[in-house]
């Protein structure tokens, strides 16, 4: 079996991107390549064509290999829901909610299962590109590791260590990581890649020589820092939670996303970063929704998005108690364009009920009341890819009828529209069992979205903005209403990503010794 595994000296060193770049190069060279990550912990997931849920890193790595993403490429996915609890998914299917201690106790039993999954995969492809998680030398919990060296042993894979020079201390991180490995583990490490280098590489040649003298392992490449439009999980998370708020720009379309505490699937909004004339910001609940413009004063964003959530009731309760709630309500009252996706859709409704505590805290909570829908959580999770056509609507959504939408749904709650007869809580409670029964049977309500007054919309569809026809029409409607004398051009997102994968492959070829990489893959056994 031909394989290679990329492990990091820490989280967010760029091992997902390096792995994707190697995948792309190998595919360009004619190999059938597949990515694999035994365990991932992420709130950013994807649904494959068979309804399996998986982490986004293996999705973009699969795209780089020109293969269909499948949940078995990320056989264990943990989705944290707070209070040391997570949803445990195996091969894309929800198994149960589990505490961190119970999951640790479960790990030894997962090793033979992982071996079976991996053996099934490697028979279908020429090369498997494995990715580790976090650091391989968390020595207090290494005996329970199934992500790094334990997986390398299962796969009998050589390892390349990836280190981030941008954060500083790269020499100590490499030397320290290797020194904490056992002799057996260290023997698997065949090389090091220094990632995110800024400046002239010739100035670092002496550093490479010194490092190689110390570790007696070759440095396979020094990869420059380069901004790429690829959905890296750690990178996106860092940018969202540590990046600065963008100022209001009167000559562009200003899009704001609420930073919920348990925000998930924020790759829904990546496309906005590739559109000229669009300014994307993530806004914390303790910030002002409006930004000050020295010419126009305080200005609300042109579009406000409420994202998915891994703990919708908890995030709704936090929003209800924050000053942001009144700002969102004022924004809606002024006719602002407001769109909620998945958990955001539920938040826009009248109320959310989770008697089984499946999504975190459990219980019930009032929504913002901006859409006449009521949500109840069933025990079964709906996971499916979806394809539908947008209807004829008014306001911001006028002229979008017939736009083809492709995306996916992943949610526990079922939402139904309310009318004057069943809006009262005492009457709504009577339909709980009916709603839950529909959700358990995975019955489709036949409604892909709901719109109020042409400016407030809710949908369960992740990826709706990846439809260039829909998004182009929506943004140009905003531009027209705002009085901007410009046309917003939205390119096909798939073609954008393809170009970025090729750019990444060029970066790898120029800065990593691929001849040595091939020797590691084919000759290291």
Active site residues: 342, 462
Q: How far apart are CA 267 and CA 271, in angstroms?
A: 8
Given a contact cutoff of 8 angstroms between Cβ atoms, the answer to whether 4 and 514 are in contact is no
Environment class of 213 (CB within 10 Å of its CB; exposed 0-12, middle 13-18, buried 19+): exposed
The tokens for 357 are: 């505590």
Q: What is the DSSP string of 491-502?
A: --HHHHHHHHHH
Q: Which residues pair with 280 in a beta bridge?
A: 255
Given a contact cutoff of 8 angstroms between Cβ atoms, the answer to whether 497 and 66 are in contact is no
CA atoms within 13 A on the CB side of 251: 2
The tokens for 281 are: 């910001």
Given a contact cutoff of 8 angstroms between Cβ atoms, the answer to whether 461 and 409 are in contact is yes
Task: List Cβ neighbours of 515 (8 Å cut-off, separation of 6 or more).
Answer: none
Spatial CA neighbour of 45 closest among 315, 343, 275, 492: 343
Rg of the chain (C-alpha set): 24
Coil, strand or helix: which one is 484?
A: coil
Q: What is the DSSP string of 79-137?
A: EEEETTEEEEEETTEEEEEEEHHHHHHHHHHHHHHHHHHHHHHHTT-SEEEEE--S-TT
CA dihedral (64, 70, 76, 81) positive or negative: positive
Q: Are strands 127-131 and 373-389 parallel, antiparallel or unpaired?
A: unpaired
Environment class of 315 (CB within 10 Å of its CB; exposed 0-12, middle 13-18, buried 19+): buried
The 8-class DSSP code of residue 269 comes to G
The 8-class DSSP code of residue 273 comes to G
CA atoms within 13 A on the CB side of 304: 30
The secondary element (H helix, E strand) that includes residue 379 is strand 373-389
Q: Which residues pair with 88 in a beta bridge?
A: 78, 96
Task: List Cβ neighbours of 288 (8 Å cut-off, separation of 6 or more).
Answer: 298, 327
Spatial CA neighbour of 396 closest among 218, 253, 523: 253
Helix axis angle for 15-28 and 56-64, nearest 10°, is 20
Q: How far apart are CA 437 and CA 412, in angstroms?
A: 12
In 9-75, beta strands by DSSP E: 33-36, 39-41, 45-47, 53-55
């Amino acid at each position: 079996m031909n394989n290679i595994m990329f492990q990091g000296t820490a989280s967010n060193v760029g091992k997902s991107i390096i792995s994707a770049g190697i995948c792309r190069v190998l595919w360009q060279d004619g190999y059938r390549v597949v990515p694999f990550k035994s365990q991932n912990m992420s709130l950013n997931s994807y649904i494959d064509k068979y309804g399996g849920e998986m982490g986004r890193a293996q999705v973009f790595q699969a795209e780089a290999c020109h293969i269909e993403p499948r949940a078995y490429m990320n056989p264990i996915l943990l989705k944290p829901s707070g209070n040391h609890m997570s949803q445990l998914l195996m091969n894309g299917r929800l198994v149960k909610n589990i505490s961190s201690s119970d999951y640790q106790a479960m790990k030894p039993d997962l090793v033979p299962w992982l071996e079976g999954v991996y053996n099934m995969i490697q028979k279908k492809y020429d090369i498997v590109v494995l990715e580790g998680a976090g650091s391989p030398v968390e020595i207090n919990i290494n005996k329970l590791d199934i992500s790094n060296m334990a997986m390398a042993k299962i796969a009998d894979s050589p390892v390349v260590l990836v280190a981030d020079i941008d954060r500083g201390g790269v020499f100590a991180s490499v030397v320290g990581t290797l020194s904490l490995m056992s002799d057996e583990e260290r023997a698997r490490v065949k090389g090091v890649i220094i990632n995110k280098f800024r400046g002239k590489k010739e100035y670092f040649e002496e550093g490479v020589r010194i490092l190689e003298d110390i570790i007696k392992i070759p440095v396979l490449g020094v990869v420059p820092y380069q901004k790429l439009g690829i959905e890296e999980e750690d990178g996106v998370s860092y940018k969202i939670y540590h990046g600065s708020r963008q100022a209001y720009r009167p000559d562009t379309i200003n899009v704001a996303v609420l930073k919920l505490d348990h925000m998930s699937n924020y790759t829904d909004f990546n496309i906005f970063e590739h559109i000229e004339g669009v300014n994307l910001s993530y806004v914390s609940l303790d910030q002002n929704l409006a930004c000050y413009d020295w010419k126009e004063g305080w200005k609300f964003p042109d579009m406000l998005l409420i994202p998915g959530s891994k703990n919708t009731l908890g995030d709704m309760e936090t929003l209800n108690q924050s000053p942001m709630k009144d700002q969102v309500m004022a924004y809606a009252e002024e006719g602002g364009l407001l769109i909620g996706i998945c958990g955001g859709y539920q938040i826009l409704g009248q109320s959310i009920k989770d008697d089984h505590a499946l999504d975190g805290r459990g219980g019930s909570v009032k929504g913002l009341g901006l859409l006449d829908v009521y949500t109840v959580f069933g025990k079964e999770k709906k996971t499916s890819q979806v394809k539908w056509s947008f209807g004829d609507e008014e306001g911001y959504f006028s002229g979008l009828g017939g736009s083809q939408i492709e995306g996916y749904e992943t949610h526990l709650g079922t939402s139904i529209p309310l009318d004057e007869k069943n809006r009262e809580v005492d009457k709504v409670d009577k339909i709980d069992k009916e709603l839950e029964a529909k959700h358990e049977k995975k019955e489709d309500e036949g409604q892909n979205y709901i719109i109020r007054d042409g400016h407030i919309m809710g949908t369960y569809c992740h990826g709706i903005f990846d439809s260039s026809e829909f998004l182009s029409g929506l943004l140009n409607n905003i531009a027209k209403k705002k009085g901007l004398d410009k046309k917003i051009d939205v390119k096909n997102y798939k073609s954008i990503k393809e170009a970025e994968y090729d750019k990444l492959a060029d970066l790898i070829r120029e800065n990593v010794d691929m001849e040595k990489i091939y020797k590691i893959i084919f000759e290291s056994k």
